[in-house]
Amino acid sequence: MQVFTRTRLLLAKLSLLVFAFMAAGFIPHETLADPLPVYFGGFAFVGDYSAKNKLYPHTAALMDADTNKPSQFDRDLQRRLQSFNNATFSLELNKLGALGPKSPSATALAFALDRETVSIERIGGQYKLLVELSAQALFFDFKEYAVVASFPMTVQYIDLKKHEPTSAEIQSIVRDLYLGNLGVNIFDEFVGTLKNVSLSPSISRRIRVTAVSIEEESRLALPESLKSDDAALQAFIAREFGKYLSKNQHIPVLPYAVDTAVGKTMAMRISDGSVYSLKIPQEDYAIQLGLVKFKKVEFQKTAAGSSFIYGAFLRVKAVEPLSGVAYFDATIKNGATKIIPMGQDVVDDWAAHQESLLALIDSFTKQLSNPEAEWAETHTGTKSNVGNMKNFAKVLQSCK
């Protein structure tokens, strides 16, 4: 996730979102003899296409206003992919319609938009605007209608304005997050993600975040936009955990897709008008998360201002669904310090809490490579949890 603001940088730049489905694995490129041909399908909407104006109002409006075929979005994607190179697969542009029974591969790829979020929150005399786009580099079997691999990514823009943002201003920002006048765009993230993935013919075990609970004490720190929208917060936490787990442990992670999937299928329409209902595989290991609470504690006060520690507490449970065996079950915690200058009367506490939570997830998923007793004591309350972290690490090894 990346955050850009013209008034101040609210969150640090985070790494690309990387999830993987079914046949996606992280293996050395040299183990693959020939690159797998992959047919590019262009821009796609995930979900019921008839609901696109509700799910993705600003993106849909931009697409509907573009009467060119292919659309500007598709042309820009094609342009960015012209010089694309990956040792494990080769992209076949403008050839999706030619995919037939004699094709050397049945794998297709789409840029699949799965979330458009716009939030406006009044803070004192200013308006905080958040615009977020989430998408997937979605590989699927063109003949079997099954997901092959998915690598999601997210970009986020935050701004503080003296007036309430208009619909035209928001739509302009959404457009720039695709085509790029803000220093970042999601199409660049898409291409960058593709350059760093490897496709493997098979994996032995699969893991997925299956549930996220929001405990009542944690709601006290939530912004108004999330207090009545558990689904959005649950999806955010699940995606971030899956992203960091995949990135830091180099494993495929099935998606938490409650907001985009019905049962074990995912609906999608690509730019040529084709509609698909894609099958999603069953996980072998389940991760259950619980947002326990946030804490804000004053740490130090001086004439220049005050420093506060923003704490985040997240319960993590890794379990094998069939046997019920839990490999890790503990609450992890983290504190991040933020300095508030004297005279600043508007403080974005949620941004600090969110930063603390993301730093915790990043640190925990890195620690699983080589668990340390000192880290376990500081972040779980007891050194004994280092053994449970090692058990969890063995589970992750089986998913590679």
7: confidence class by pLDDT, cuts 50, 70, 90: very low
202: confidence class by pLDDT, cuts 50, 70, 90: low
The confidence score (pLDDT) of residue 78 equals 92
Compute the distance between CA of residue 211 and CA of residue 317 in angstroms, rounded to an integer.
10
Residue 21 has pLDDT above 50, yes or no: no
Compute the distance between CA of residue 235 and CA of residue 206 in angstroms, rounded to an integer.
19
Q: Are 147 and 281 a contacting pair, CB within 8 Å?
A: yes
Ranking 95-99, 148-152, 221-225, 354-358 by mean pLDDT, the lowest is 95-99
Q: For 61-84, how does the pLDDT look when each residue is reduced to its tens digit (9 = 90+)? A: 999 898 888 889 999 999 999 988
Share of the chain above pLDDT 70, in %: 84
Compute the distance between CA of residue 66 and CA of residue 175 in angstroms, rounded to an integer.
12
Q: Which residue has the tokens 């290991």?
A: 285
The confidence score (pLDDT) of residue 148 equals 75
The confidence score (pLDDT) of residue 9 equals 34
362: confidence class by pLDDT, cuts 50, 70, 90: very high
Compute the distance between CA of residue 352 and CA of residue 358 in angstroms, rounded to an integer.
10
Helices (H) and strands (E) counted in the chain, each on its own, are: 11, 13
Q: For 33-57, how does the pLDDT look when each residue is reduced to its tens digit (9 = 90+)? A: 578 888 998 999 988 788 888 889 9
More confident of the two residues 28 and 72: 72
The confidence score (pLDDT) of residue 29 equals 39
237: confidence class by pLDDT, cuts 50, 70, 90: very high
Residue 119 has pLDDT above 60, yes or no: yes
Which of 152-161, 165-174, 234-243 has maximum average pLDDT?
165-174
Q: What is the mean pLDDT of residues 86-99?
A: 81
CATH number of 207-251+284-400: 3.30.160
Compute the distance between CA of residue 54 and CA of residue 61 in angstroms, rounded to an integer.
11
Residue 193 has pLDDT above 70, yes or no: yes
Ranking 11-25, 120-134, 243-257, 365-379 by mean pLDDT, the lowest is 11-25
The confidence score (pLDDT) of residue 22 equals 35
What does pLDDT average to over the chain? 82
Ranking 71-85, 92-106, 165-179 by mean pLDDT, the lowest is 92-106
Residue 299 has pLDDT above 60, yes or no: yes
For 218, the enclosing helix (H) or strand (E) is helix 216-219
pTM: 0.69
Q: Tell me the domain boundaries of the chain.
A: 3-203+256-281, 207-251+284-400
Spatial CA neighbour of 246 closest among 144, 399, 96, 138:
399
Q: Is 205 helix (H, G, I), strand (E, B) or coil?
A: coil
Mark residue 94 as left, alpha or beta (left: phi above 0; alpha: psi -120 to 50; beta: remaining): left
Q: Bridge partners of 330? A: 316
CA 343-346-350 angle, to 5 degrees, is 135
Q: Bridge partners of 298? A: 308
Residue 17 has pLDDT above 80, yes or no: no
Give the DSSP letter string of 332-350: EEEEEEEEEETT-----HH
Tokens matching residue 167? 């619909």
More confident of the two residues 154 and 264: 154
More confident of the two residues 361 and 400: 361
Q: What is the mean pLDDT of residues 147-176?
A: 88
The confidence score (pLDDT) of residue 163 equals 92
Q: Which residue has the tokens 């993230």?
A: 189
The confidence score (pLDDT) of residue 315 equals 98
Share of the chain above pLDDT 90, in %: 35
The confidence score (pLDDT) of residue 345 equals 58
Compute the distance between CA of residue 32 and CA of residue 10 in angstroms, rounded to an integer.
42
